[in-house]
């Protein structure tokens, strides 16, 4: 994706076979498993970006390419959120915003909202995002910048559920995007299912995980709220890797190159928005 003559990057080719599927949706959400920290002058050429030392720093021009591909909002709370510290978090938010993209899961200031509300065809959808762990490190004074669960810490889960509850008061539906679970697992463990249930009980309608880099099951939930009303919820425990260098691993026996686009159908017949269906469009990642 690097053009040496112009010293620029162009990632649009990655989406040439997939953007039509994204265009079918009114609002498209993804997990941004990197930061836009700007060129690192410690490296030369295209290596000013990359994965040196396990730190994921992508060329900032990718933000515009992602917008052009059809994305609307990105989860920015994941294991690589703090790879380039607080400055990397702030610049990532800035580059996304300048490209016309929303984000959720990281904050530039301590008093910034810990959730995001988007208006989609007249329906207000609230988004909350958390990660169970981070590779990078933040000073205590900057710990507010990433919504993290710190290994299923009870106080952190309580804070996340409070955020879900607050979002539900300001939105018609709430979506939680969470990075958790063991890498390359294909079924959720007890910690995951209990966490998802806690989010549903707090007011979430859809919970999507993305920590295992492989597909996990979808589950339709019957939720009974404290006021006695019942509703349907959707849990997708992991969506796999949409774009990256994951390939089939013979030793693991996991199809890491297979993912899916998860479409949720939301309709309002006058009695309030309801989830009326969903579909999965399988994708295959060809990497060489």
- Please give the pLDDT value at position 63: 98
DSSP structure string for 78-147: STTTTTTHHHHHHHHHHHHHHTT-EEESB-SSTTS-SSEEEEETTEEEEEEEEES--SS---GGGGGGB-
Distances (CA, A) of 47 to 50, 111, 154: 6, 36, 40
Distance between CA atoms of 30 and 243, rounded to whole angstroms? 10
Half-sphere exposure of 274 (CA within 13 A, CB side): 10
- Please give the pLDDT value at position 169: 96
Q: State phi, psi for 39 to the nearest 5 degrees.
A: -65, 135
Q: What string of pLDDT tens digits covers the 288 residues of the chain?
A: 888 899 899 999 999 999 999 999 999 999 999 999 998 777 666 678 877 778 899 999 999 999 999 999 999 999 999 999 999 999 999 999 999 999 999 999 999 999 999 999 999 999 999 999 999 889 999 999 999 999 999 999 999 999 999 999 999 999 999 999 998 899 999 999 999 999 999 999 999 999 888 899 999 999 988 888 889 999 999 998 999 887 777 777 788 889 999 999 999 988 889 999 999 999 998 877
- Please give the pLDDT value at position 39: 87
Distance between CA atoms of 212 and 237, rounded to whole angstroms? 9
Residues in the chain: 288
pTM for this model (two decimals) = 0.95
- Please give the pLDDT value at position 4: 87
Q: State phi, psi for 21 to the nearest 5 degrees.
A: -70, -35
261 contacts: CB under 8 Å, gap ≥ 6: 18, 21, 22, 242, 280, 281, 283
- Please give the pLDDT value at position 105: 98
């Amino acid at each position: 994706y690097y053009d040496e003559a112009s010293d620029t990057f162009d990632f649009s080719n990655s989406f040439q076979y997939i953007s039509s599927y994204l265009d079918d949706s009114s609002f498209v959400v993804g997990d941004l498993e990197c930061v836009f920290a700007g060129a690192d002058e410690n490296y030369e050429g295209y290596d000013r970006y990359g994965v040196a030392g396990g730190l994921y720093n992508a060329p900032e021009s990718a933000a515009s390419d992602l917008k052009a591909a059809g994305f609307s909002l990105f989860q920015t709370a994941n294991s690589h959120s703090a790879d380039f510290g607080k400055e990397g978090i702030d610049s990532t938010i800035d580059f996304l915003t300048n490209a016309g993209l929303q984000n959720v899961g990281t904050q530039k200031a301590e008093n910034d909202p810990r959730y995001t509300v988007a208006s989609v065809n007249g329906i207000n959808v609230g988004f909350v995002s958390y990660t169970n762990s981070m590779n990078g490190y933040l000073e205590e004074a900057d710990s507010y910048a990433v919504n993290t669960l710190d290994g299923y810490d009870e106080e952190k889960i309580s804070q996340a559920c409070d955020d879900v509850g607050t979002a539900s008061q300001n939105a018609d539906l709430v979506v939680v995007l969470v990075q958790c679970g063991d890498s390359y697992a294909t079924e959720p463990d007890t910690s995951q299912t209990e966490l998802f249930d806690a989010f549903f009980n707090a007011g979430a309608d859809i919970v999507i995980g993305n920590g295992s880099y492989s597909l996990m099951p979808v589950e339709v939930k019957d939720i009974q709220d404290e006021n006695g009303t019942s509703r349907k919820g959707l849990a997708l425990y992991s969506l796999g890797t949409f774009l990256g260098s994951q390939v089939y691993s013979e030793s693991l026996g996991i199809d890491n190159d297979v993912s899916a686009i998860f479409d949720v159908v939301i309709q309002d017949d006058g009695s309030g928005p309801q989830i009326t269906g969903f579909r999965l469009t399988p994708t295959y990642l060809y990497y060489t």
